[in-house]
Amino acid sequence: MTIHKEGYVTISFMLILLTAITLTIWYLTPNYPIISIIAGSILFGLWLFIISFFRSPNRKINKKSKAILAPADGKVVAIEEVEENEYFNTRRIQVSIFMSPLNVHINWHPIAGEVKFSKYHHGLHLVAWHPKSSTDNERSTVVVCREDGKEILFRQIAGAVARRVVSYAKVGQKVGQGDEFGFIKFGSRVDIFLPLGTEVKVAIDQMVSGRQTVIANL
Each residue's pLDDT tens digit, 170-209 = 999 999 999 999 998 876 889 999 999 999 999 999 999 9
- Asked if residue 90 has pLDDT above 80, the reply is yes
- Asked if residue 142 has pLDDT above 90, the reply is yes
Q: Which 3 state secondary structure label does DSSP give 60?
A: coil
Of the listed 118, 134, 140, 188, which one is catalytic? Answer: 188
Predicted local confidence at residue 16, as pLDDT: 95
- Residue 185's nearest CA partner among 6, 44, 43 is 6
pLDDT digits 0-9 by tens, 45-75:
999 988 988 888 888 888 888 899 999 999 9
Q: What is the pTM of this model?
A: 0.85
Q: How confident is the model at residue 164 (pLDDT cuts 50, 70, 90)?
A: confident
Class (C level, CATH) for 67-217: mainly beta
CA distance 144 to 171: 9
- Residue 165's nearest CA partner among 154, 153, 176, 152 is 154
CA distance 72 to 108: 6
* Catalytic residue flag (residue 140): no
